[in-house]
Amino acid sequence: MEYQKLRDRMVENQLIPRGIKDPRVLDAMRRVPRHIFAGGHNLANAYDDMALPIGEGQTISQPYMVAIMTELLELKGTEKVLEIGTGSGYQGAVLGELAKDVYTIERIASLSDRAAAEYRTLGSDNIHVRTGDGTVGWPEEAPFDRIIITAASPQIPEPLMEQLAVNGILVIPVGSRYSQQLLKITKTANGFTEQYHTPCVFVPLIGKYGWEEE
Ligand code: SAH
């Protein structure tokens, strides 16, 4: 199948040379059909080394960004994961391959509806989609072993810190509206440790604990 070739090439050319090592992450990205999530008009370049428009002014992240954020989460397969910013649903699908359960929140209903429909079609029944402001988290399902925010935030939304389990990991792009850096937070019994990673550019996280709508 043509798409399998494109995915293998994406992993070999974009992910491995940039240092993605976790074999489970590489395998998941060889499997998940990115072109399905990239949307009809993007089929030809769905596996290219870039973010792509998915409608509503939003984007599907570059494959490398999905890979590094996923690798930073150190998933073993037993975790309950919260994702903020479902977007196309692609990142969530990768998480669904690597964790036990994924809870993903998207503020734009047309996007969350489309992602939920793709998950139903693919039979990804461990992925749960909600429409709403993800900056307040998903309190009924907390605590989460892992939290990933795939939109740019001025700071870490307080409710998400609270909903992170002890020994849990949270990954978030923090910075200005136009440029950020990936931050990995590990919650310990007596506080938090933080580690900065690669610079990045995400669309803004808009909500009660994020940016105001422009
Ligand atoms: N993870 C996505 C990429 C998301 S782009 C993928 O794999 O395709 C960021 C998404 O975050 C956008 O769809 C945007 O609408 C959404 N978003 C922004 N603020 C949000 C909020 N407060 N709660 C939930 N989603 C939000």
Segment 36-42 shows an average pLDDT of: 78
In a domain, 164, yes or no: yes
14 pLDDT higher than 80 = yes
The pLDDT tens digits of the residues spanning 199-208 come to 999 999 999 9
Q: Is 25 within 8 Å of 70 (Cβ atoms)?
A: yes
Predicted model pTM: 0.97
What pLDDT score was predicted for residue 39?
80
What pLDDT score was predicted for residue 42?
62
82 pLDDT higher than 70 = yes
88 CA closest ligand 1 atom index: 8
Ligand 1: which of 124, 150, 180 to mutate, judged by most atoms within 8 Å of the beta carbon? 150
- Apex 26 CA angle, 24 and 32, nearest 5: 95
Number of H helices, E strands in the chain: 7, 9
In a domain, 214, yes or no: no
- Per-residue confidence band for 187, with pLDDT thresholds at 50, 70 and 90: very high
In CATH, what number is assigned to the domain containing residue 111?
3.40.50.150
The closest alpha carbon to 208, from 105, 69, 128, 116, belongs to: 105
* Ligand 1 neighbours by CB, cut-off 6 Å: 58-61, 84-85, 87-88, 90-91, 105-108, 111, 133-135, 150-151, 203, 205-207, 210
Ligand 1: which of 50, 128, 206 to mutate, judged by most atoms within 8 Å of the beta carbon? 206
- Apex 11 CA angle, 89 and 151, nearest 5: 35
The residue contributing the CA closest to ligand 1 atom 19 is 205
Enclosing domain of residue 95: 3-200
Q: Is 61 labeled as catalytic in the residue annotation?
A: yes
Segment 169-186 shows an average pLDDT of: 97
More confident of the two residues 56 and 195: 195
Q: What mean pLDDT is reported for the chain?
A: 96
- Here the tokens at position 156 are 């870490």
From the list 61, 88, 124, 153, the catalytic residue is 61
In a domain, 210, yes or no: no
User: Rounded distance, CA 95 to CA 13, Å?
Assistant: 21
44 pLDDT higher than 80 = no
The b/e string for 57-72 (b: 16+ C-beta within 10 A; e otherwise) is ebbbbbbbbbbbbbbb
Q: Is 109 within 8 Å of 131 (Cβ atoms)?
A: yes
- Taking each helix axis from N to C end, the angle separating 90-98 and 109-122, rounded to the nearest 10 degrees, works out to 40
The residue contributing the CA closest to ligand 1 atom 16 is 85
What pLDDT score was predicted for residue 66?
98
The pLDDT tens digits of the residues spanning 98-113 come to 999 999 999 999 999 9
41 pLDDT higher than 90 = no
1 pLDDT higher than 70 = no
The number of folded domains in the chain is 1
User: Rounded distance, CA 124 to CA 90, Å?
Assistant: 12
- Here the tokens at position 27 are 């395998």
In a domain, 50, yes or no: yes
